[in-house]
Every structure is written in C-alpha cells, then in structure tokens.
Amino acid sequence: MMIEAEQPLPADEPSIPNHIAIIMDGNGRWATARNLPRIEGHRQGVASVRRTVEECARLGIGQLTLYCLSSENWKRPSHELDFLMHLLEQYMIEERSLLMEQGIRVQMIGRRDGIPERVLNEIDKTIELTASNIGTCLCLAINYGSRGEIVDAVKEIAAEITAGSIEAEEVDEQLIADHLYTAGMLDPDLLIRTSGEMRLSNYLLWQISYSEIWVTAKCWPDFLESDLHEAMEVFSKRERRFGGLS
C-alpha cells in the first residue's frame, strides 16, 4: 500500500523514519544519457532536492540529511565544481523564504576548508535565519567525508586527554558520537541511494551502523515524491532488531 501524497503521516508513527539520509547520485549519468553537459544534471538535481525537502517537511520527517558534496568530489573538473558552488549559493538565497514558510531548520556538516567564502556566507545566513524553526531539520553534508569526520573526532578527543580534561578510560561510543560533526543528531533510520550503486561512498559510516538501506536505479534528477514514499513503505515493513532477536 503506497502512502497517499495528500495524507500527512503521523510524526509519532513508529514505522515512519525520523531521520532520512540520501546519497544523491547520478546527476552526471542522467545528463550524459540525454547528450547534455554534466552541469545540466546538477541543475535538474536541484529540483529533486526541492521536491524531497518539501515532501519531508509535509510528512513531518524529523531530519533529512543530503550528501551534497563529498571530500573526494574536489577531484572533479574545476568548471563543474565552480558550477556546484554556484548552485549551492543560489539555493541558499532563493530557498530562504520557502524554508521559513515551512519551518525548516538548516544545518551543515563537513569541513569548511575549500568552500568559497561567498558560499559559506550564504550558508551561514540561512542557518542563522532558520535556527529557531521547529520543523524538519535539513542537514547538508558539504565537503563531507566520514573517515575525515572520524579523524577530526579522534584528534579532538586526543587533545582533551592530553589536556587532562578527560581520561582515556572515559572514551566510549557516546563520547565519540559527541565529537562527530553530527553531535546531538539522531542516527539515520533510513539511507536512500539513487542511480543503483551499491556502496556507501564514505557517507555517515559511524551513524548508519543500523540504518535500513534502500537503493533505486533512478538517477537523482528523476527522483520523485512517489520514490520517497516507496522507500518509506519498504522501511515500514522491515523488522529492525539492532543485533537482537525478534
């Protein structure tokens, strides 16, 4: 049974994921298949972001985390990276009124190094503007890599041990989680990946330890609200045992 688009889902329904993370893959392949430049795939991908963000807000999803730019993506051609930065800056500016209307709160995870100052300024403005909103949290993973995140957490913990503020014996899973970029956030319940690839691509490796994974062959520009509903329906039918027995 598919979720009807016009019927909001109860936020406290246990079968509804509170946190959805998405690897938005396939923009370039979508464009290449249509004999278009790769940047056109990224442009069309923004429309899918808008649809997905609005639908998650309407359904009462607590958090949506989108993999916007990985730390490995800097290996791409400079003109493509420049266009991605332009799209990100444009999104921050053009979507602010809609984010406020829908009560969406924006956050960012990832390293700020390498991101143009003008883009960071617009991201920071949007984060500050939406900070008091109580609807869906839209978390953007920009210049993000999970291994780098863990390295940064280890460095911070090591520095605290050296300073004597904590003892080595105090290091446990919760302490590590508290030093990740996602500190204070719930782990994703559902991980969605588009374009049919069966890999995690250095995305939220610590946080998705017990996330349910759903993969679609569709490239990201073709991802629709109905695809989000399908992923959520599959999620609702899975039994999550977290290593235990049913």
The answer to whether 25 touches 219, Cβ cutoff 8 Å, is yes
> What pLDDT is stored for residue 166 in this prediction?
97
In a domain, 33, yes or no: yes
Q: Residue 210 domain-assigned?
A: yes
Using CA atoms, how far apart are residues 66 and 144, in angstroms rounded to an integer? 11
Q: Is the pLDDT confidence value at 7 over 80?
A: no
Look-up of token digits 């639908």:
55
Which stretches of the chain are DSSP H helices?
A: 27-33, 38-59, 78-94, 96-101, 117-130, 146-163, 173-178, 225-237
Distance between first and last Cα of the chain: 24
- What is the domain extent for residue 82? 19-145+188-236
Does 25 qualify as catalytic in the annotation?
yes
Does residue 232 lie within any of the structural domains? yes
Q: Kindly indicate the confidence band of residue 14, based on its pLDDT and cuts at 50, 70 and 90.
A: low
Does 73 qualify as catalytic in the annotation? yes
pTM above 0.75, yes or no: yes
Percent of the chain with pLDDT over 90: 90
Provide the domain count of the chain: 1
**CA–CA separation, 25 and 197 (whole Å):** 8
Catalytic residue among 12, 27, 73, 124: 73
Contact 87, 46 (CB under 8 A): yes
Whichever domain contains 104, its CATH number is 3.40.1180.10
